[in-house]
Amino acid sequence: MVADPSVSRRDALRAAAIGGTALLLGVNLRSASIAAISGGASATFAPDAFIRITSDGRATLIMPQTEMGQGIYTALSMLIAEELDLPLDEVTLEEAPANDKLYGNPIFKVQATGGSTSVRGYWLPLRTVGASARAMLVSAAARRWRVDPSTCRTEAGEVIHDASGRRSSYGPLAAAAMRETPPSAPQLKRLEDFRLIGRSHRRLDTRPKTDGSLRYGIDAMPEGVRFASLACAPVLGGRVERVDDSQARALPGVRQIIVLNDIVAVVADTSWGAMRALAAIDIKWRDGEFGSLSTETLREALIEAGRADGNVAVDTGASSKLSGEGVISEFYDLPLLAHAPMEPMNCTVHVTAERCEVWVGTQVMTMTQRAAAEEAGLPPEKVVVHNHLIGGGFGRRLEVDGVRKAVRIARHVDGPVKVVWSREEDIARAPYRSLYGSWMRARLEDGRPVAWGHKVAGPTVVGRWLPPAFDGKVDNDAVDGAAETPYDLPASYVTWVRHEPKGIATAFWRGVGPNMNVFATESFVDRVAHEAGRSPLDLRRSMIGKHLRARAVLDMAAEKAGWNDPLPHRQGRGISLQFAFGTYLCTIAEVAVDEDGAVKVLRMTTAVDCGTPVNPDGIVSQIQGGIIFGLSAALHGRITISNGRTEQSNFHDYRVLRMNETPRIEVHVIRNAEPPGGIGEPGTVSVQAAVANAIYAATGVHLTRMPIDQSLLAKGARA
Amino acid sequence: MFEISINGNRRQAQVDGDTPLLWVLRDVLGLTGTKFGCGIAQCGACTVHVDGSPVRSCRLPVSAVGARSITTIEGIGASPIGAKVQKAWLDLEVIQCGYCQSGQIMSAVALLEGNSNPDDEAIDAAMSGNICRCGTYVRIREGIKRAANGG
Amino acid sequence: MIGRYRNWLLLGGAALILAAVVAWRLLFLPDALDFAGGTRVPLADYGRSGIAGVPEELAKAEPLARGKYLAEAADCAACHTAKGGRPFSGGRPFKLPFGTIYTPNITPDRETGIGAWTDAEFLRAVHKGIGRNGQRLYPAFPYASYTMLTDADVIAIRRYLGSLAAVRQANLPNTFAFPFNQRWLMAIWGAFFNSDRRFEPVRERSVQWNRGAYLVEAAGHCGECHTPRTLMQAMDTRRKFAGGQAEGWNAYNISGDRLSGIGQWTDAELTEYLAKGHATGRGVASGPMAEAVELSTSRLTHSDITAMVAYLRTIPPVRTKASPAMAGPAPAAASAGPSGNVPGKRIFEGACASCHAWSGRGAITSDQQLTGNRAVNDGSASNVAMMILHGTGGTPERPGAYMPSFAAAYSDTEIADVANYVTARFGAKPSRITASDVKRMREE
Ligand code: FES
Ligand code: FES
């Protein structure tokens, strides 16, 4: 979500510099909540908000970021354990409680997980935390043994004094270490001394996911819980007009029917009982002003908005060169998309006059707490949020709309109530990835762009979600991947038109801003190549100057994909190269298009340079998953609106990729010593242009919209 | 009142006979390892074994279970193939968010019970009804092959 | 010369006779019960009660409850309710080859409904197909069947309709072009094809059989969909119940033929089908039949369903090409099925196999069984494709058979591919429908 990776890196450094000792180590900030989680046990070494070692040797690490499959528990633990020399296989991990001060993401400053920022943000802070704790343990041991701390070393959870042969595991040192003063500038390991970082480590969160024992938010079962299903107004801003629930009341197991302004909910003995009763209620909605909204009108409004010049993100003297003879141009656009994580939206709430307890899986702990407090009419400190591991976030759980609705319902229920969204409700009444449009222009000279124009139109999600991060002029996320490309462009002109679509709520979606910008940029590069009669690979090579890391991923992907190997008729390869989230990545897609226009993606080859790899196999896994997520969008993804209502409802009409559509995916990680870049989003971002360009190569049809419209690709069809 | 056999135990549930087994497991018996994903047999998250066959429990009314025995993700590790699949899943780091994986494992075990050495085509045929939004398909395929070859 | 004239005369005469025969066959069709032989008598002369009206169990019910039962037996709600609309307020479109017709509002609203109608006007509409202002009604309104209902039953239905909440909803105009917009032509049609005679039982047959006949022919108007139509769009009663069409779906042969019809169904299967919309191993009622079951047959008493079954059993077999002998279960192994339709197989394995199973026996309950289902054995694949496009069973929360509509996310080509795969894998006769067939069906 933070557009300029150099900014984010700066931020991370700053967080380490100021927060690294004062804020994050937080010795002087050892707050009530930390005392509470450490149980007040005197024999606990809890030097900061992230580490607890008890005298019996048990180590607990507090996870400030939410695990939603991206492997962050493992990567963050590795950062601490590397510097602390803690054996990772026995640690216990614990979800951090709501507390922005202690657990605010170093980049966002609030407790949020998203934007591929976790490892980037915590790279230095958590290592500092580990190193500092280690120093305190060493001091405590040295003091006990009356030796110079510099003559002690640590290994696998022990302090060792080689000269005397003395050694102590951390547990017995816990109490003493607590009395040590944290070092002001703890020494971090040199890269070559890493024992954990850079080697694939088994994931710490997955074992209970193999036997059903892991409890997600949807599995929360507080004593006496009842189950609710809800129907929200199908049109944004709609209201309940009237309700006939006579049939529903008669159904077995129905406890309560709750009618709010814009929600009808049924509470029953089982979720099914609630869903069935809800379906039996005849609800008449009053649609309000968006009752006639449609995808077409939304798209027209976007295009209309695109007539404006927009706010300038980059201007290196290109604007005057981008009209008239010799300029090629193209318009690219993306549809609305739902997140559709496998775990449907859900939230369990127990509201009483004095307090509110919430069980949920959220990417935003403190926002969840505040939202629940607002809806419950309580101060935030009266709200306890039990965060859970998440069954898929992708940006959906950066939003607290579901928490608000659940609390509103729970206020009418005596005792805890678990509100579970049906898949239909989850898909049809959600905030969506917005539609975006990109207007591309280029002036070519000698087969090379000499002036480059990119105007992108779309909403600012950042502006709503994290207002301080938006300066009111240019949303860095919205121009991420456009403002800075991997290329040296002699002159460029990049602008952003803020366009908030009316009648739909918009949200972050895996890949965020770069999804549009990389799709447009990389598709247009192929268009330019076509125009200039050059190979897409050669043109890109010639356009790369100072971004040497981009050249390396491009060359590696081309080599591994066998770029020059001949392909049969109606098969093609396409490149997408990007620099976003601090990571360089290149994907080459190989596709076959049959005579009817059906596209089969055969192979995806990715080379990625995300700086120092923390858990290399985790990187591969994230890229594989990200590519599959992107393929779902490219091949099938589309939310359409008619009469203000979403036309899709479940996986039968909101298709996502299945195993038998999954191509061969190869991921090659380039290692270097640069600070880590993000890895959750980049894979997804690279897919659309790579596939579209491969189709371009296979058929000569240049697709400018997603998802792929097969009717344009049938033999003889004209785009 | 329905009495059903789950993971070798007799369990009773006082529910309407139309209630899908999924919700009896989750909401009444507290066996939350079986997941709700779509409710219309399109995602596979709710897969259980009914007399050894993979069945989408979200569309199976509890009244239709009868005397057949149910195995859920909580019980699958007791079978040798189940344990092998779980191990392969961990060894190959198949899992991301994990929400779909109960269903994936149940489908994979059922496949291997009937075909000890499935090729890609057989894997596609058995597994394409299970959606993974995190995109773990590549590793699921490897995991099945690993489990088939002795883990 | 004379010889030549004679030849011409002979030829002309023969042509005339031929035309007359053709016209005769086109214009004068057997009546619904002629196949049964016996003596037809006015209801009053039959001597025993229990043929018209409500079944015995309901004899003492409130008049409105009796009217409701009859309205259900006549399935008024299905046609007179638009998708998502209020019951009986009309507006449901029927696409006919020459335009679209919208059913009218039959709630008691005085301006837009039938609140202001007299009983006589109502009777005339139901029996003769003549509207309130004397305009002729199109036979999409099945008055050729309803004409057999007794006056008392029609009036009972009228009373029930009159008791409903009035819905103000203006009727939509039909979109018929010339000459089909000439309503008076329907008078000629009616003169030939609407007997305008009340139900006459067959003296030699039992009360149960005659009750079944009344329910099947008069109220249930089964023949309107299940009997093929002649050129003149009349029910071809010579091929009674040999299969027809309804809104893009094939209405299958329900004559007694063992191969093409329901000759091999047991009474229990027929009863279960009418009562629940599904008989194990025989498939699920879908499309318009699903509605007919939901809104009509499932609401009938057991004795009435039994009577219908008893009557249906006596319909003479008609062998038709559309329904060949059914295929048995497909192989359980995915790879053993038809080859050469990779896209169809791919969709089936992703979206369909979880429910239907590779064997077609159904993977969850017998609701999903394809084996023995007529749709998959129908080489036209019409109902298979219609089912994939439109789904069936209302909403997912409803227990029992439910299938979502796949129309929105799959292309015409994909739906044709998977329909062809399904008939090839599970049916007796592989279909070869194309994307353009599917495109047409989408519009149904
Ligand atoms: S929840 Fe049963 S298949 Fe999706
Ligand atoms: S692992 Fe997350 S949905 Fe499959």
Centroid of chain to Cα A379: 29
Chains with ≥3 CB–CB distances under 8 Å to B: A, C
Nearest ligand by distance to the CA of B102: 2
What was the pLDDT predicted at A715? 81
Residues B85 and B58 in one domain: no
- Residue among B30, B36, B42 whose CB faces A652 most closely: B42
pLDDT tens for B95-119 read 999 999 999 999 999 999 999 999 9
> Are residue B80 and residue B138 in the same domain, yes or no?
yes
Do B23 and B80 have their domain in common? no
* pLDDT at site C324: 67
Lowest mean pLDDT among A410-414, A615-619, C255-259: C255-259
**For residue A718, what pLDDT is reported?**
52
Residue C63 preceded by cis peptide, ω within 30: no
Nearest residue in C to A596, CA atom: C413
- Read off the pLDDT of residues B34-91 as tens digits, 9 standing for 90 and up: 999 999 999 999 999 999 999 999 999 999 999 999 999 999 999 999 999 999 999 9
The residue contributing the CA closest to ligand 2 atom 4 is B132
Candidate from A55-64, A572-581, B101-110, C410-419 with smallest mean pLDDT: A55-64
Confidence of residue A131 (pLDDT cuts 50, 70, 90): very high
Q: Would you say the CB of residue A69 lies under 6 angstroms from ligand 2?
A: yes
Task: Write the residue in B26, B36, B137 that is nearest to A628 by C-beta.
Answer: B137
A661 contacts C350? CB cut-off 8 A: yes
Angle at A654 between CA A649 and CA A655, to 5 degrees: 150
CB C315 within 8 Å of CB C238 = no
Q: Which alpha helices (DSSP H) does C282-434 contain, by range?
A: 287-295, 302-312, 342-347, 353-356, 374-377, 382-390, 412-426
- pLDDT for C18: 79
Q: Cβ separation of A596 and C397 shorter than 8 Å?
A: no
Between C183 and A294, residue with greater pLDDT: A294
Q: Residue A25: its pLDDT value, please?
A: 29
Residue pair C100/C175 in contact (Cβ under 8 Å)? The answer is yes
User: Distance of CA C334 to CAs A394, B119, B123, C338, C378, Å?
Assistant: 34, 12, 10, 9, 22
The pLDDT score that the predictor gives to residue A31 is 31
Pocket probe for ligand 1: among B40, B100, B130, B133, the residue whose CB has the most ligand atoms within 8 Å is: B40
Interface test with A, best of B93, B94, B104 (most A CBs within 10 A): B93
A392–B97 C-beta distance less than 8 A:
yes
pLDDT in the model for residue A11: 40
Ligand 1 pocket list (CB less than 6 A): B 36-39, 41-46, 56, 58
- Ligand 2 midpoint to CA A69 (Å): 7
Range of the domain at B19: 2-71
Note the pLDDT tens digit of each residue in A436-452: 999 999 999 988 999 99
Over the stretch A338-373, which tens digit does the pLDDT of each residue have?
A: 999 999 999 999 999 999 999 999 999 999 999 999
Measured from the Cα of B37, ligand 1's closest atom is: 1
Which tens digit of pLDDT belongs to each residue from C405-418?
A: 999 999 999 999 99
Spell out the alpha helix ranges (H) of C41-198: 43-46, 63-73, 76-79, 119-128, 143-146, 151-162, 185-193
Residues A472, A259 contacting (CB under 8 angstroms): no
Asked if residue B64 and residue B124 are part of one domain, the reply reads no
Report the C-alpha dihedral over residues A22, A24, A27, A30, rounded to 10 degrees. 130
A279–chain B nearest CA distance, Å: 14
More confident residue, A398 or C182: A398
Residue in C349, C408, C435 closest to A653 by CB: C408
The dihedral formed by the CA atoms of A623, A626, A631 and A633, expressed in degrees to the nearest 10: -160
CA distance A262 to B44: 32
Question: What ipTM did this prediction achieve?
Answer: 0.91
- Burial track C71-92 (b if 16+ CB lie within 10 A, e otherwise): bbbbbbbbbbbbeeebbbbbbb
CA R_g for chain B:
15
- Of B71, B105, B132, the one marking the end of a domain is B71
Give the SS3 label for residue A177.
Answer: helix
pLDDT of residue A552: 98
Boundary-marking domain end, from B18, B36, B71: B71
Which of the residues in chain C have pLDDT under 50? none
| Nearest CA distance, C413 vs chain A (angstrom) | 8
Question: What value does the CA radius of gyration of chain A take, rounded to a whole number of Å?
Answer: 27
* Helix residue ranges, H only, A202-340: 246-249, 271-279, 295-305
C391 close to C410: Cβ distance less than 8 angstroms: no
The DSSP code sequence of A384-444 is EEEE-B-S--TTGGG--HHHHHHHHHHTTSSS-EEEE--HHHHHHTS-BBPPEEEEEEEEE
Give the count of domains, chain B.
2
Q: Shortest Cα distance from A13 to chain C (angstroms)?
A: 47
Instruction: For residue C256, report the distance from its CA to the centre of ligand 2, in Å.
Output: 52
CB contact under 8 A, B64 and C354: no
Between chains, do C397 and A710 touch, taking CB under 8 Å as contact?
Answer: no
Per CB-CB distance under 8 Å, the chain B contacts of A659 are 123-124, 127-128, 130, 132, 137, 140-141
Please report the DSSP string for A284-295 in residue order.
Answer: EEE-GGGTT--H
CB within 8 A of B118, min separation 6: which ones? Answer: B111, B112, B126, B144, B145, B148
Residue of B nearest to A273 (CA): B19
pLDDT tens, residue by residue, A652-707: 999 999 999 999 999 999 999 999 999 999 999 999 999 999 999 999 999 999 99
d(CA C428, CA C439): 25
Region A158-183 average pLDDT: 94
Contacts of A632 (CB under 8 A, 6+ apart): A655, A656, A657
Asked whether residue B8 falls in the same domain as residue B52, the answer is yes
Nearest atom, ligand 2, residue A69 CA: 2
* pLDDT tens digits, one per residue of A374-390: 999 999 999 999 999 99
Q: How far is CA A539 from the centre of its chain?
A: 32
- Interface contact flag, C402 B40, Cβ < 8 Å: yes
The residue type found at A158 is E
Bond before C179 cis per omega within 30 degrees: yes
pLDDT for C327: 86
- Whether A296-336+433-712 and A7-203 are alike in CATH topology: the answer is yes
B119 CA: distance to closest CA in chain A (Å): 13
Closest Cα to residue A672, out of A604, A606, A583? A583
Distance (Å) from CA A165 to ligand 2 centroid: 48
Closest chain A residue to C352, measured at CA: A652
Lowest mean pLDDT among A453-462, A536-545, B20-29, C225-234: C225-234
Select from A653, A658, A713 the residue whose CB has the most chain C CBs within 10 Å, as the one to mutate to test that interface.
A653
Residue range A296-336+433-712 in CATH 3.40.50.300: no
* Residue B130, ligand 2, Cβ within 6 A: no
- Domain CATH code at residue B20: 3.10.20.30
| Residue of C177, C207, C205, C317 whose CA lies nearest to C259 | C317
Question: Closest Cα of chain C to B67: distance in Å?
Answer: 14
Taking CA–CA distances from B126, the nearest residue in chain C reads C349
Name the interface residues of C facing B (CB cutoff 8 Å).
Answer: 333-335, 346, 349-351, 353-355, 358, 363-365, 396-397, 399-400, 402, 404
Comparing CB atoms, the residue among B45, B86, B134 nearest residue A210 is B86
For chain A, the average pLDDT equals 92
Tell me, in angstroms, the distance from the centre of ligand 2 to residue B137's CA. 9
* Both tokens assigned to A367: 């926002």
Q: Give distance in angstroms: CA of B45 to centre of ligand 2.
A: 10
Q: Using alpha carbons only, how large is chain C's radius of gyration in Å?
A: 23
Residue B147 φ then ψ, to 5°: -65, -35
Span from the CA of A349 to the centroid of ligand 2 (angstroms):
25
Domain identity same for B82 and B116: yes
Give per-residue burial for C279-302: e unless 16+ CB within 10 Å, then b.
Answer: beebbbbbbbbbbbbbbbbebbbe
Note whether A707 and A691 are within 8 A (CB). no
For A7-203, CATH gives 3.30.365.10
Among candidates B40, B60, B128 on the partner chain, residue whose Cβ is nearest the Cβ of C349: B128
3-state secondary structure A112-125: ECCCCCHHHHHHHH
- Give the Å distance between the CA of A625 and the centre of ligand 1: 21
Contact assignment for B125 to C350 by CB distance below 8 Å: no
Q: Looking at the CA of C354, which ligand is closest?
A: 1
The CATH superfamily of C334-442 is Cytochrome c-like domain (1.10.760.10)
Collapsed DSSP state (helix, strand, coil) of residue A230: strand
Nearest to A407 by CA among A397, A396, A418, A398: A418
- The reported pLDDT for the residue numbered C188 is 81
B83 and B129 in a single domain? The answer is yes
Element (H, E) at B103: helix B101-114
Contact C355 B59 (CB under 8 A): yes
Mean pLDDT computed over A491-496 = 97
The more confident residue out of C27 and A429 is A429
Write down the pLDDT at residue A12: 36
The CA distance from A175 to A187, in Å, is 23
Domain ranges of chain C: 53-193, 207-312, 334-442
State the nearest Cα–Cα gap between B18 and chain C, in angstroms.
6
The CA-atom distances, in angstroms, between A666 and each of A607, A619, A627, C126 are 8, 12, 10, 70
Q: Answer yes or no: do A661 and C343 touch at CB < 8 A.
A: no
In the predicted structure, residue A230 carries a pLDDT above the cut 70: yes
- Which chains touch C (3+ CB pairs under 8 A)? A, B
pTM, two decimal places: 0.90
What atom of ligand 1 comes closest to residue B44's alpha carbon?
3
Helix axes C412-426, C435-442, angle to 10 degrees: 110
User: Does residue A16 register a pLDDT over 90?
Assistant: no
Q: Give the CATH architecture of domain A217-288+345-420.
A: 2-Layer Sandwich (3.30)
CA distance A351 to A377: 10
Name the residue at shortest CA distance from atom 3 of ligand 1.
Answer: B41
Residue C379 sits at the chain A interface (C-beta within 8 Å): no
Same domain? B51 vs B102: no
pLDDT band at A17 (very low <50, low <70, confident <90, very high): very low
* For the CA of B139, the nearest ligand: 2
pLDDT in tens, B8-28: 999 999 999 999 999 999 999
CA A76 to chain centre: 16
In chain A, domain spans: 7-203, 217-288+345-420, 296-336+433-712
